[in-house]
Amino acid sequence: MTRQTSIKEALTMETDQDQETIVDLGAAPDGPAGGGVIETRRMSVYYGDFKAVADVSLNFASNQITALIGPSGCGKSTVLRSLNRMNDLIATARTEGEVMYHGENIYADDIDPVEVRRTIGMVFQKPNPFPKTIYENIAWGAKVNGFKGSKSDMGDLVQEALESAALWDEVKDKLQESGYSLSGGQQQRLCIARAIATKPDVILMDEPCSALDPIATLRIEELMLELKEAYSIIIVTHNMQQAARVSDKTAFFNVKLNEKGMRTGRLVEFSPTDQLFTSPTEKDTEDYITGRFG
Ligand code: ADP
């Protein structure tokens, strides 16, 4: 059995590694039996010689929404992209430490990054549909990721994905129109549907509402709350109200000067969202959420 196979099988497996104690958290962990889907262990990310984030140990719970917040440049997107090896696509980027997915290090030599990105999908800041029809936006992604069913199976998959992304009713009569013909909010839901169609386990969202108006933003937030029944969601947001509205747990990052005077992002606090916003344990968190900086 290859490691690629076992990462798929891990979806249904409970591993002993999930029970391991996390070392050097520097903030409240999920606890040893936290039901984590992804766990970073002392993860640091460099761009060339620049250490962008240092020593991040976090345990992301299954079927919850975890928000990553903090001032611009503190490394939120860098951390998020490290969780599905998206940083591999940046030539200078290098990740140290471990990122465990159901107990398996996704950075191990024999792990296929393409499979990692299918299992741990991503939705980006700016909706980025393919220059194809609405139908093909879903079907093409699924085909590229190995979907082998019949045409009618594919039709079912497209419908299911669009329903899950709360878009079906709006597009069912125009599946052959371009994805670009949709509004910004609809395009973002199309991208969420595209991610869902590859049957991921985790969905990473990098400021998914920052290009959207308030009503489209609310639709996406409602959708996230529905999706967490089936998926684990990790979202980067610069919008603290959004983190407070949708997330179960929040990780606050801040920039600290390192020994060489370089600005490196660090995890300051990781707590249930209510607690982080009402009684943070760290002064930096309190200063940030009360608007004293950032
Ligand atoms: P945030 O998402 O919190 O705004 P980022 O993760 O985008 O922060 O950036 C963290 C740090 O890494 C910043 O100093 C940023 O300039 C740097 N950085 C981000 N992406 C790259 C890159 N591709 N090459 C070099 N430096 C980068």
CA neighbor of 217 nearest in space, from 185, 239, 181: 185
Give the Cα separation of 202 and 28 in Å (integer): 22
Does 72 sit in the ligand 1 pocket, CB within 6 Å? yes
Residue nearest to ligand 1 atom 20, measured at CA: 78
Per-residue pLDDT, 262: 86
Helices (H), the chain: 3-9, 76-82, 113-119, 134-144, 151-164, 168-171, 184-197, 214-227, 240-246, 273-278, 283-289
- Lookup: tokens for 292: 């004293």
Residue type, 125: Q
pLDDT in tens, the chain (294 residues): 234 433 334 323 323 333 222 222 233 333 334 468 999 999 999 999 999 999 999 999 999 999 999 999 999 999 999 999 999 999 999 999 999 999 999 999 999 999 999 999 999 999 999 999 999 999 998 888 788 889 999 999 999 999 999 999 999 999 999 999 999 999 999 999 999 998 899 999 999 999 999 999 999 999 999 999 999 999 999 999 999 999 999 999 999 887 778 899 999 999 999 999 999 999 999 999 998 876
Q: What is the pLDDT of residue 294?
A: 65
Question: What are φ and ψ of residue 110, in 5° steps?
Answer: -95, 15
Q: Which atom of ligand 1 is nearest to the CA of 74?
A: 3
Half-sphere exposure (CA, 13 Å, Cβ side) for 15? 19
- In degrees, rounded to 5, the angle at the alpha carbon of residue 31 between the alpha carbons of residues 28 and 32 is 140
φ/ψ of 170, rounded to 5, equals -80, -20
Question: Residue 63's Cα: distance from chain center in Å?
Answer: 12
Match 């951390």 to its residue by tokens: 79
Backbone dihedral angles phi then psi of residue 92, each to the nearest 5 degrees: -85, -10
Q: Which two tokens stand for residue 258?
A: 């390192």
Return the ligand 1 atom nearest residue 80 CA.
Answer: 6
Tell whether ligand 1 has an atom less than 6 A from the beta carbon of residue 74: yes
Atom 19 of ligand 1, residue of closest alpha carbon = 78
CA–centroid distance, residue 77 to ligand 1 (Å)? 7
CATH topology of domain 7-289: Rossmann fold (3.40.50)
- Cα of 253 vs centre of ligand 1, distance in Å, is 13
If you take atom 5 of ligand 1, which residue's CA is the nearest one?
75
For ligand 1, is residue 90 a contact (CB within 6 Å)? Answer: yes
Hey, is 254 helix, strand or coil? Answer: strand
Q: Where are the domains of the chain?
A: 7-289
